[in-house]
Structure 1
Amino acid sequence: MRLTILGGGGFRVPLVYRALLDDPARSVSELTLYDTDPARVAVISGVLARLAQGRPSPVPVRVAESLDAALTGADFVFSAIRVGGTEGRIRDERIPLAEGVLGQETVGAGGILYGLRTIPVALHIAERVAALAPGAWVINFTNPAGMVTEAMAQVLGDRVIGICDSPVGLVRRAARAAGADPAALKDPARSGYDYVGLNHLGWLRSLTVDGTDVLPALLADESALGSFEEGRLFGAEWLRVLGALPNEYLHYYYFRRETLHSIQDTAQTRGEFLDHQQGGFFERAAAAGSPDAVYELWERTRLEREETYMAHSREATGGWQRDSHDLEGGGYDRVALALMHAIAGNSGRRLILNVRNGTTVPQLAPDAIVETVCEVTSQGARPLPCTPLREDQLGLMLQIKSVERATIDAALYKDRDAALRALALHPLVDSATVASHILERAAEGA
């Protein structure tokens, strides 16, 4: 299989390449990188070369000079682009904060601004894939992943699938905290789980091991809840009230005031931190010379990035540090590889993915992208039936889906009214006046 990564100069591309090198099936025969920033992709190519040293028959890497050249002949296309770079992310965060509302990359006003900028580019990519590689599968990790996947699906249909590492990370951490047998989790005949929602807005509602749902006992065990990230983030009391384990991004909704105050009180947003950190990495890496030095610099920078992930939310709940199990997460590189294997091998493997709803959540349109458990075969990813959503879960999903769809319309048709509707209806903005001010600031490039 030939894999193309769009955003090939991205900081986390080496994680994907390392997964390919460790893949016993050796399923990818060639990796093509494409990025609009030649300097960044040159540095990342150097990190990949260092990873390949000493490996028998490493996966060859090619750098394409154009989007069309990168797509031609691809079997899988992994889209992980950042339109506007970290500078754009900083504006997405700072503009809402200036109006007294949350500024975050994928959630709230910041996610809407990011979507408005990204969706036209993602749609162009989808059109070029359809023209040049109509048999390819597109795996989308570009944020905001749900709405970007939904926009691309207008061209590619079911051949675009969105991925996120948050849900599988949650399942793994919950299973470990519940004391589940690790071997059972790898056997679909012995384990299963019910996860449903939208990207960065979902709930783990059951976790079955050997015929027993271990989630109720976990929710009743305060000590066990305190042993992993989501348990500490949301707190035992609130998790018992919910009767489910939420995706970590729901902290912005359930603890809006606390997180907003934490971000407002800091001198540096997440985007500003990454801009400084990654800008420094690429600058130092370009001058490092030695492949070993570049690789070691990348590893140190990566670890710091993961240790500081969602730091503002942790600050709002006591300022605790992520431990080794939290850092383990789900690994978006492993999710992408598992998805490729499942499609190529027609395996029927079950994964949590972003796909068209169909009838999974009857209250949503069939073509709306949802994040849920899917069965993956050579025909793609099919969402599995789930138990009915509780009213609070469904209500939040419906509201955010209306925001996502309005954002897509605004991006595709340059419709300011749709953009205003998306911002004003988002529960983390909750003011038409503030929404209008945010749009004005964004238009001015504030």
Structure 2
Amino acid sequence: MRLTVIGGGGFRVPLVYGALLRDHAAGRVTHVTLHDVDPARLTAVARVLADQAAGMPDAPEVRTTTDLDDALRGADFVFSAIRVGGLAGRAADERVALAEGVLGQETVGAGGIAYGLRTVPVAVDIAERVARIAPDAWVINFTNPAGLVTEAMAAQLGSRVIGICDSPVGLGRRVARTLGTDPDRARFDYVGLNHLGWLRGLYAGVADGEDGAERNLLPALFEDEALLTSFEEGKLFGAEWLRTIRSVPNEYLHYYYFNRETVASYRQAEQTRGAFLHDQQARFYDRMAHSATPAWQAWDSTRAEREATYMAENRETAGAGERAADDLESGGYEKVALALMRAIARGEETTLILNVPNRGTLGVLDATAVIEVPCRVDANGPRPLPVTQLAGHEAGLVTAVKAVERCVLEAAESGSARAAVQAFALHPLVDSVNVARRLLDGYRGVHPGLDYLRMR
């Protein structure tokens, strides 16, 4: 089986390759093609992968290329993890937004809109090329904003593009462990959009001799103060708020529920997250330019620092302290990607939380809206499972943000600056139409790739 990674010079590629190295079953991935527009980054990542594969005779073969069409030929799966504008672009997104007093995070608020406006046209081009060159391939999208980009690509690829994210998986696993149940045997009632979802229920099998097939363990969590504040999301949101909303939000909802405090913290920080990662990864790739640098050691130490500082401003705002060892384990997007490929290629049926078209799953959204929900996956792809319907403020947030995403898609397709301004203005975290106009002007000033937007 052949896998192509678009964005193959990206820092997180060794995580994917590590998952492939641990898979020794028949039908496994045997060939990996890394594609990137930056040959130096490709070389650096290929060196890390070579260190990973040392001493493993059945390691998947790796080749690199800067020719996208060449990378796609013969692919069974395509993993899309591009970053249009690089980390310098992410840092610029943050600066422009914070100058207007609003959030610039890469997937939430003004920063997410700016990122989407310059990423969607590139993602659509990739989807068109896949449809032409590798029409039987499945595309696994991790490019942010993941739900928005997946919906854009689905217009070309239909059900053969699937969005993944490790945030909901990590949330579910942390809550399951907190409640003393095996995450691999639990059923999660999780629903929303990418980086805008809630765990509404956690169901586990009943012990032998008890009545019933399964029970919802989540209500017990809200009654136990110690448990409720013992894991990452409990520390971030606080026991009182979680008891109020009677669900456990995805960590990214901290930007919504505590927006004023988070923006203040970001404005006071010595560096934004994007600027920190830009500097950190620049140092890594600079080190990798020297052939004597131990590739795996350099990568792994950089990864550990990256994970330990994740959402540091939010934890500071909440007084959550340093991340606990258990919380450093994400959902493992590379594990999600591998399980997804195995289910489709080998028929190893599994349940995963994925970004897929709604198709009637949520009554508040139309059929083509990409949502993030548990899906049953087999050789035919994913099928959304029934979930608790959204109501109240959750439905309001989801429908509002989906309307923003649709404005971004309209702007990217038509080149309409008016649609782009509308996207900024309608977002719940942007408080003025005038701010929305200045945001677009600011982003066009720092991103030449947004020159396609015109008043029309």
Give the TM-score normalised by structure 1: 0.97
Q: Match for residue 454 of structure 2?
A: none
Which amino acid in the other structure matches residue 196 of structure 1? Answer: V
Q: Match for residue 25 of structure 1?
A: 25
CA drift of 1:343 comes to 0.9
Say whether 1:75 aligns with 2:73. no
CA drift of 1:289 comes to 1.7
CA drift of 1:432 comes to 0.3
CA drift of 1:24 comes to 3.1
- Secondary structure of residue in 2 paired with 1:58: coil
Q: Deviations over 1:77-96 (max 9, x none)?
A: 00000000011111111111
Q: State how 1:26-425 maps to structure 2 within 5 Å.
A: 27-180=28-181, 182=182, 185-187=183-185, 191-210=186-205, 211-290=214-293, 293-318=294-319, 320-425=321-426
| CA distance in 2: counterparts of 1:259 and 1:202, whole angstroms | 19
- Secondary structure of residue in 2 paired with 1:195: strand
Which amino acid in the other structure matches residue 436 of structure 1? Answer: R
- Secondary structure of residue in 2 paired with 1:41: helix
| CA distance in 1: counterparts of 2:283 and 2:271, whole angstroms | 16
- Secondary structure of residue in 1 paired with 2:188: strand
Q: Match for residue 430 of structure 1?
A: 431
| CA distance in 2: counterparts of 1:294 and 1:77, whole angstroms | 25
Which amino acid in the other structure matches residue 274 of structure 1? Answer: L
| CA distance in 1: counterparts of 2:349 and 2:411, whole angstroms | 37
| CA distance in 1: counterparts of 2:250 and 2:296, whole angstroms | 32
- Secondary structure of residue in 2 paired with 1:186: helix
Q: Deviations over 1:62-121 (max 9, x none)?
A: 112300000010000000000000111111111110111111110000000000000000
CA drift of 1:193 comes to 1.5
| CA distance in 2: counterparts of 1:72 and 1:382, whole angstroms | 28
| CA distance in 2: counterparts of 1:425 and 1:354, whole angstroms | 23
Which amino acid in the other structure matches residue 204 of structure 1? Answer: L
CA drift of 1:345 comes to 2.1
| CA distance in 1: counterparts of 2:431 and 2:253, whole angstroms | 17
Which amino acid in the other structure matches residue 67 of structure 1? Answer: L
Contact 2:200 2:388 (C-alpha < 8 Å) held by counterparts: no
CA drift of 1:378 comes to 1.2
| CA distance in 2: counterparts of 1:86 and 1:248, whole angstroms | 22
CA drift of 1:206 comes to 0.4
Q: Match for residue 9 of structure 1?
A: 9
Q: Match for residue 208 of structure 2?
A: none
Contact 2:236 2:320 (C-alpha < 8 Å) held by counterparts: no
Structure 2: which 5+ residue stretches go unaligned?
206-213, 448-456
| CA distance in 2: counterparts of 1:443 and 1:83, whole angstroms | 14
Q: Deviations over 1:354-374 (max 9, x none)?
A: 000000012211000000011
- Secondary structure of residue in 1 paired with 2:144: coil
CA drift of 1:48 comes to 0.2
CA drift of 1:29 comes to 1.2
Which amino acid in the other structure matches residue 198 of structure 1? Answer: L
| CA distance in 2: counterparts of 1:255 and 1:348, whole angstroms | 39
Which amino acid in the other structure matches residue 237 of structure 2? Answer: F
| CA distance in 2: counterparts of 1:363 and 1:214, whole angstroms | 27
CA drift of 1:319 comes to 5.1
| CA distance in 2: counterparts of 1:226 and 1:25, whole angstroms | 40
Please give the root-mean-square deviation of Cα atoms over the aligned residues, in Å.
Answer: 1.1
Which amino acid in the other structure matches residue 4 of structure 2? Answer: T
- Secondary structure of residue in 1 paired with 2:230: coil
CA drift of 1:411 comes to 1.3
| CA distance in 2: counterparts of 1:353 and 1:194, whole angstroms | 13
| CA distance in 1: counterparts of 2:224 and 2:319, whole angstroms | 20
Taking only the aligned residue pairs, the percentage that are identical comes to 58
Q: Deviations over 1:210-254 (max 9, x none)?
A: 112111111221111222111101111100001001000000000
- Secondary structure of residue in 2 paired with 1:259: helix
Q: How many residues align?
A: 438
| CA distance in 2: counterparts of 1:3 and 1:333, whole angstroms | 13
Structure 1: which 5+ residue stretches go unaligned?
none
| CA distance in 2: counterparts of 1:295 and 1:178, whole angstroms | 36
